Amino acid sequence: MYEEWFGFSRPPFNNTPDTSFYFPSERHNEALAQLMYTVGQRKGFAVLTGEIGAGKTTVCRSLLRELEEDGASTALVTNPRLNGVQLLYTVAREFGLELPDARVDRLAIMDAINEFLIEMLAQDRNVVLVIDEAQNLPLATMEEVRLISNLETEREKLIQILLLGQPELRQKLAHPSLVQLRQRIVMRYHLEALGEREMLEYIQHRMRVAGSHHAARFSSRAIHIIFRYSHGIPRLVNLVCDRAFLVAFTEETHKITSQVVITAIKEIEGPEWSFKQTALQEEKARKKKSFLRLPFFADRTR
């Protein structure tokens, strides 16, 4: 709606993992480089974690794009709430393997995957499996993932597995039943949020990619409010910037002021929103989290 007003050829702040908008921040570049090395050297298991909206999926899509250009065979599982057989079936289908039906037994699926991996090895093609939202994998299914990773030759892994997830994934991987899986993880990286200066560069980068850079002018106060609201999380930055541009468009201005940003945030959060209210809610959430831990400590003192 506001694209023409600001001179954009397309929306600059859509919350989709469009790799053309990939922002090469220090953290994102480091994560991508480590993943490329781990996968390229066929090391096996890698884990990428980060807060919701930190850019994990965008990094992953950039990785997959580069790998596919190099001839790798890739599969992406986006619904991890599966049991072991369902996961195996999904993985096989993502790699394009023909299976009789979803009721085929586990051993038959594993055999089909193993044959596929051997065929890819003969063609010197790397095989990469990415599981998004991996913190939602049941523990039993996590074990199935480990068994997939056991498919290897004497010299190298036949499949490279990347687990993407929120910080809870690190807690899940610490479960005593997953010790064998943990021992196979060769790379872990936690994607941090952007700093305020880097967030400004991120906003400018997306506007350039969308076809315009100077049409919209942000005040320093507006940038600070966006950072305070988003904490540097790219998804939240996109959300508030998209709404701020819409507000500016309706007010027929090219200036993104602090008031425009606050209006945009209130349209997202509700008219009663304030930083003070947000702080109170966060404090209540912290206290509630601490309270929920009390029964655990009580059990230990019996």
Query: What CATH number has the domain bearing residue 264?
Result: 1.10.8.60
Residues of the chain with pLDDT under 50: 290-302
Q: Which of 122, 82, 130 is nearest to 106 (CA)?
A: 82
Per-residue confidence (pLDDT) for residue 216, from 0 to 100: 87
- Residue 17 belongs to some domain of the structure: no
Same domain, 131 and 253: no
Per-residue confidence (pLDDT) for residue 284, from 0 to 100: 61
Dist CA 51 CA 232 (whole Å)? 11
Inter-CA distances, 147 with 8, 40, 134, 229, Å? 48, 21, 16, 43
**Tokens, residue 193:** 């949020």
Dist CA 123 CA 71 (whole Å)? 10
Last residue of a domain, one of 169, 191, 213: 191
Dist CA 5 CA 143 (whole Å)? 53
Q: How many domains does the chain have?
A: 2
Per-residue confidence (pLDDT) for residue 52, from 0 to 100: 93
φ/ψ bin of 280: left (φ > 0), alpha (ψ from -120 to 50), beta (otherwise): alpha
β-sheet bridge partners, residue 218: 256
Dist CA 302 CA 298 (whole Å)? 7
Same domain, 46 and 60: yes
Dist CA 222 CA 90 (whole Å)? 45
β-sheet bridge partners, residue 188: 47
- Residue 255 belongs to some domain of the structure: yes
Same domain, 111 and 58: yes
Query: What is the per-residue pLDDT across 211-256, written as a single tens digit (0 to 9) for each?
Result: 976 778 999 999 999 999 999 999 999 999 999 999 999 999 999 9
Dist CA 94 CA 75 (whole Å)? 5
Q: Which domain holds residue 99?
A: 26-191
Per-residue confidence (pLDDT) for residue 282, from 0 to 100: 58
The two most distant CA atoms of the chain are separated, in Å, by: 67
- Residue 169 belongs to some domain of the structure: yes
For residue 176, which amino acid is it? P
List CB contacts of 134: < 8 A, sequence separation 6 or more: 47, 80, 163, 164, 165, 169
Per-residue confidence (pLDDT) for residue 294, from 0 to 100: 42
Per-residue confidence (pLDDT) for residue 153, from 0 to 100: 76
- Name the pTM for this structure: 0.84
3-state SS class at 23: coil
> Cα 262–210–251 angle (5° rounding)?
35
Last residue of a domain, one of 173, 191, 209: 191
- Residue 298 belongs to some domain of the structure: no
Dist CA 250 CA 264 (whole Å)? 12
Per-residue confidence (pLDDT) for residue 151, from 0 to 100: 82
Q: Residue holding tokens 């996961």?
A: 87
Dist CA 229 CA 210 (whole Å)? 24
List CB contacts of 221: < 8 A, sequence separation 6 or more: 257, 258
Same domain, 156 and 201: no
Per-residue confidence (pLDDT) for residue 187, from 0 to 100: 95
Per-residue confidence (pLDDT) for residue 105, from 0 to 100: 84
Per-residue confidence (pLDDT) for residue 99, from 0 to 100: 79
